[in-house]
């Protein structure tokens, strides 16, 4: 699905020497590279505070802890996402409220959101799924009306732009009270191990969170709150400092592959190609979709056959996600009603994600699309 080796080879000498520098410096934890990366990412995102941490799941958990959410508070998120989002809500003994998504963008459905709000609701967690932002303009409006926090799960959309109707452009993860991301190797900005970060424009909240990631310490050996140990290590930060300046180029390479796929599948009835919320299809100029995944919908009932056919032809492909969260053993709840998950229940039977990365040559893309077209003919 990804070509991490090909990507590494292009930047090998810089990466290798940066890793050796960290080893020789012996500043393995909270070294200058971590602080440097924090500043670099604050500049790139145009956000006041970045707090690096150990992974994207921790980032979500610590973001929620920082906001002071308490047992029983309801937190609304989507049914169609990776489980990390709902997992941390449950771990913190908050009450997850799963809602349906839009069938075109795979992102949070606004009617479902409005319907799910109760007096106990405290926060909304939109997930910018597959690389494009949820409808943040409306989500922020709804949140403001009901005095709710917004935590953006940006694990799949770092680098994506979101354009408001007045023309203002903001980076994914910088619009809500808190944004979180993951530097898992296969994410759009991946390190060579685990990593994550929390973003916020609220300086007081940033201060709270900085202590929380470090055992609740604001002064050495004085523990004011119950915290966790969640750090980005210096080697990962050094790697990320080299990759961050390449992120826009990486996003463009992904979009290029997405356009190739879209063109190939344009007139095929049984294939529904991804839509971008802002530009309809995929525009050539803006950065509103960064294609963490390129996800088709196969509408003729042959998704599973196609999935197997591609595997038989050595073409990686995957079903993200095969089971909706509300049907997972860990998260089932009698509060949920199947009719409220009509879109998710349909998507799990039709979605198919194709290989997506930064290192394609046209021949590979042509082979993938031809294999699919021949099969569906």
Ligand X SMILES: *Cc1c(COP(=O)(O)O)cnc(C)c1O
Contacts to ligand X by CB under 6 A: 55-57, 81-82, 84-85, 127, 153, 155-156, 182, 184, 194, 196
For residue 335, with 0-12 CB atoms within 10 Å meaning exposed, 13-18 middle and 19 or more buried, which class applies? exposed
Give the shortest CB-193-to-ligand X separation in angstroms: 10
Closest by CA to 352, choosing from 376, 326, 331, 325, is: 376
Peptide bond into 321 cis (omega under 30): yes
* Interatomic CA distance for residues 283 and 182, integer angstroms: 26
Q: Between 140 and 157, whose beta carbon lies closer to ligand X?
A: 157
Rg (CA), the chain: 21
Q: SS in 3 state form for 13-30? A: HHHHHHHHHHHHHCCCEC
**CB 58 → ligand X: shortest distance, Å?**
7
Q: Which two tokens stand for residue 195?
A: 């990593």
**Minimal distance, residue 376 CB to ligand X, in Å:** 29
Residue nearest to ligand X (CB): 56
Nearer to ligand X, 81 or 273 (CB): 81
- Tell me if residue 304 falls in helix, strand or coil: helix
CB of 194 to ligand X, least distance (A): 6
Asked whether 209 and 198 are in contact (CB, 8 A), the reply is yes
**126 vs 355 by CB, closer to ligand X:** 126
Residue whose CB is less far from ligand X, 106 or 260: 106
Q: In angstroms, give the least distance from the CB of 6 to ligand X.
A: 21
Instruction: Output 78 or 372, the one with its CB closest to ligand X.
Output: 78
Residue 109 vs 194, nearer CB to ligand X? 194
**Beta carbon nearer to ligand X, 57 or 344:** 57
Q: How far is the CB of 128 from ligand X (least distance, A)?
A: 8
Nearest-angstrom CA–CA distance, 157 and 111: 23
Residues 6+ away with beta carbon under 8 Å from 94: 64, 69, 70, 71, 72, 73, 74, 75, 122
Closest distance of CB 268 from ligand X, Å: 28
Give the C-alpha separation, 313 to 33, whole Å. 43
Cα 162 to chain centroid, rounded: 14
In this structure, are residues 272 and 303 in contact, taking their beta carbons and an 8 Å threshold?
A: no
Q: Please state the closest distance from residue 83 (CB atom) to ligand X, in A.
A: 8
Residue number with CB closer to ligand X (156 or 353): 156
């Amino acid at each position: 699905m990804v070509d991490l080796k090909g990507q590494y080879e292009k930047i090998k000498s810089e990466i290798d020497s940066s890793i050796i520098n960290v080893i020789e410096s012996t500043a393995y934890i909270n070294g200058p590279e971590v602080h440097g990366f924090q500043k670099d990412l604050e500049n790139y995102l145009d956000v006041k505070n970045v707090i690096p941490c150990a992974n994207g799941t921790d980032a979500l958990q610590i973001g929620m802890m920082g906001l002071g959410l308490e047992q029983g508070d309801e937190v609304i998120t989507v049914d169609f996402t990776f489980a990390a989002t709902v997992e941390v809500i449950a771990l913190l003994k908050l009450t997850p409220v799963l809602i349906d998504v839009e069938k075109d963008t795979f992102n949070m459905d606004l009617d479902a959101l409005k319907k799910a709000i109760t007096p106990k609701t405290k926060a909304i967690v939109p997930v910018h799924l597959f690389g494009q932002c949820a409808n943040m303009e409306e989500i922020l409006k709804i949140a403001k009306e009901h005095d709710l926090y917004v935590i953006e799960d940006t694990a799949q959309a770092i680098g994506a732009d979101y354009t408001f109707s007045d023309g203002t452009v903001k980076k994914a993860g910088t619009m809500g009270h808190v944004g979180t991301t993951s530097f898992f190797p296969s994410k759009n900005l991946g390190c060579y191990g685990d990593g994550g970060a929390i973003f916020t424009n609220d300086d007081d909240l940033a201060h709270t969170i900085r202590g929380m990631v470090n055992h609740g310490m604001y002064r050495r050996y004085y523990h004011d709150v119950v915290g966790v140990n969640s750090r980005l290590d210096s080697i990962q930060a050094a790697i990320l400092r080299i990759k961050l300046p390449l992120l826009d180029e990486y996003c463009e390479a992904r979009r290029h592959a997405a356009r190739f796929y879209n063109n190939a599948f344009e007139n095929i009835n049984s294939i529904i190609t991804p839509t971008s919320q802002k530009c309809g299809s995929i525009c050539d100029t803006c950065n509103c979709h960064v294609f963490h995944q390129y996800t088709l919908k196969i509408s003729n009932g042959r998704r599973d056959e196609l999935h197997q056919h591609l595997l038989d032809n050595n073409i990686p492909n995957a079903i993200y996600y095969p089971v909706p969260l509300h049907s997972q053993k860990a998260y089932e709840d009698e509060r949920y009603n199947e009719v409220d998950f009509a879109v998710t229940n349909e998507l799990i039977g039709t979605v198919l994600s194709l290989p997506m990365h930064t290192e394609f040559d046209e021949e590979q893309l042509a082979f993938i699309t031809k294999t699919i077209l021949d099969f569906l003919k």
